[in-house]
Amino acid sequence: MKIFITGVAGFLGCHLAKRMLELGHSVGGNDNMIGGEKDNIPNNTKFFDIDCTDYEEMKKAIKGYDIVYHCAATAHEGLSVFSPYTITRNIYEATVSTVTAAITNKVKRFVYCSSMARYGSQKFPFTEDMLTKPQDPYGIAKVAGEDTLKLLADVHGMEWNIAVPHNIVGPNQKYDDPFRNVLSIFINRNLQGKPALIYGDGEQKRCFSYIDDCIFCLEKMAFDKNINKEIINIGPDEEAISVKNLADLIANELGFNGKPEFISDRPQEVKVATCSADKARKILNYETKTSLKDSIKYTADYIKKKGTRPFKYYLPVEIVNEKTPDAWIKKLI
């Protein structure tokens, strides 16, 4: 089949492209290169250097493809409270453009990569039948994208599934981004002899999912004829860990002896965000094959091989006031 992947030069997109090519499919994809890297794109991928928000170009690019994976996103949940225009434009407007282009080209199935930001602060672990209660602009835009996809796809006869990945880690993840990817940020800093910087008290709890475990699920959500109109959490519900303990685990793995430093917290950050994987286990035969310790090792090995990098403040901070984290204003990371 012909598979189109938005954000194909990004972390999730490039791994999906690699897997689809291994399966013998024809793969194309686009990226605006805000968070992607050209050397992430697998050979034999037809690449379109265009932005998802450019509907006319997306309509041309997607022509002839059977399945669309929409992975492209400025996945900056915390930053969205202070850069709402940039973040939400690259979430909601990009989604509407891509969905419309897919329907116009009679794409058979659309797989939308959402976020557990859709849940906000609720009883955890989050389950797919919960009402969406996002508490930041990023989550709001993701939910709006979900709702628009469901409505338009149902009206115009396109199959859809919504994956809800959470905290995916592994090789090819952008590790010089000061606004997101906490595990990679900590590794990149420790390898440079710098301590982890932790927002607030470090008691925020998360689960981390290795990339290969997620790709298996996304594969089934595209090709299994019996899986349609489903919203499924993708990722483990084991090994929930506080950010503070994550920093210690990474330091131990890397042999870094310094202690983390604590800085002011980020407004609207969800304290505990863990998802149930019961539905994924039932419908997708999901299982966690890679432990958190191994996930840290594989990610660290990749960063060591590529070489540590200074952090690039490549996105604007639109709202600067007394609530804006010092880490971003003073470029502490």
- Note the pLDDT tens digit of each residue in 37-60: 999 999 999 999 999 999 999 999
Instruction: Answer yes or no: pTM beyond 0.85.
Output: yes
| 3-state class (DSSP) for residue 199 | strand
Integer CA distances (angstroms), 313 to 37, 181, 193, in order: 16, 14, 20
User: pLDDT class for 292, splitting at 50, 70, 90?
Assistant: very high
- Note the pLDDT tens digit of each residue in 257-275: 999 999 999 999 999 999 9
Token match 């595209």: residue? Answer: 222
- Note the pLDDT tens digit of each residue in 199-241: 999 999 999 999 999 999 999 999 999 999 999 999 999 999 9
Integer CA distances (angstroms), 93 to 31, 113, 134, 155, in order: 15, 15, 18, 19
- Note the pLDDT tens digit of each residue in 160-197: 999 999 899 999 999 999 999 999 999 999 999 999 99
Alpha helices, DSSP H, located in 237-331 = 243-254, 278-284, 292-306, 326-329
Tokens linked to 149: 């996809």
Integer CA distances (angstroms), 102 to 60, 96, 151, in order: 10, 10, 14
- Locate the domains of the chain by residue range: 2-168+211-234, 169-206+237-328
Mean pLDDT score, 313-332: 96
88 in Cβ contact with 137 (< 8 Å): yes
99 in Cβ contact with 149 (< 8 Å): yes
- Note the pLDDT tens digit of each residue in 126-143: 999 999 999 999 999 999
How many Cβ atoms are within 10 Å of 310's Cβ, its own excluded? 11
Token match 């002839």: residue? Answer: 64
The rounded radius of gyration (Å) of the Cα atoms in the chain is 19
Alpha helices, DSSP H, located in the chain = 11-22, 55-62, 84-88, 94-104, 137-156, 182-191, 211-223, 243-254, 278-284, 292-306, 326-329
Tokens linked to 122: 């609720």
With DSSP H G I counted as helix, E B as strand and the rest as coil, what are the percentages for the chain, rounded to 5?
Answer: 40, 15, 45
Please report, as a single letter, which amino acid is at residue 211.
I
Helices (H) and strands (E) in the chain, counts: 11, 14
CATH classification of 169-206+237-328, choosing from 3.90.25.10, 3.20.20.70, 3.40.640.10, 3.30.70.260?
Answer: 3.90.25.10
Looking at domain 2-168+211-234, its CATH architecture is: 3-Layer(aba) Sandwich (3.40)
* Rounded CA separation 48/77 (Å): 26
How many Cβ atoms are within 10 Å of 267's Cβ, its own excluded? 13
| Strands of 205-206's sheet in order across | 241-242, 205-206, 272-273
